[in-house]
Amino acid sequence: MNDKTVRDIVKAFAEVLDRDDLEPLDLVPSALPESLLRYPKGLIRRSIALLLLEETDMDRRQILEESYLFLDNFIADQDYKLFYFYDKSTDNIAQSKNLERKPLNLPSKAEVMKKAQHTNQRIKERWEQALEEIKVFRRIMGLPDDLSDLISRVS
């Protein structure tokens, strides 16, 4: 990939993150649907990594590192829609008893909660792996690999 392509991919991802019309979920906090991404997550991850291996400006580097960590909050659209339905159903029940019946093909609340727990765990594990990768990028650049500042910003 050439430098322009890498920067275009990261810029497209930044534009998604800058949107103010996104609806994160309660069941899976900060989760968003993958369909918002113009490029596959793997390509975005590689592009951010390439920029992290050359970026020396600490402010830009901070944004790239936070973006790298947030990437795995994008989940399959099918899962997002399922969690979204249950999030909104719960909100509506609290506000009104006139909730439409759920479609017959949806799993039970218990199954959805189990899936949400699994998704949260997968995001957490990937986040921890991404932190280790960022440490490696910092070491390659000759930067300290203490991530306490980064963790406090994104937690």
The count of other CB atoms within 10 Å of the CB of residue 88 is 14
Q: State the alpha helices, DSSP H only, in 2-76.
A: 3-18, 41-52, 58-70
**What is the number of alpha carbons within 13 Å of residue 70 lying toward its C-beta?**
21
- pTM higher than the cut 0.85: no
Per-residue pLDDT of the chain (155 residues; tens, 9 = 90+): 898 899 999 999 999 999 988 887 888 888 999 999 999 999 999 999 999 999 989 899 999 999 999 999 999 999 998 888 888 775 544 443 444 455 556 788 888 889 999 999 999 999 999 999 999 999 999 988 887 877 777 76
DSSP letter, residue 104: T
Total structural domains within the chain: 1
Residue ranges making up the domain that contains 15: 3-154
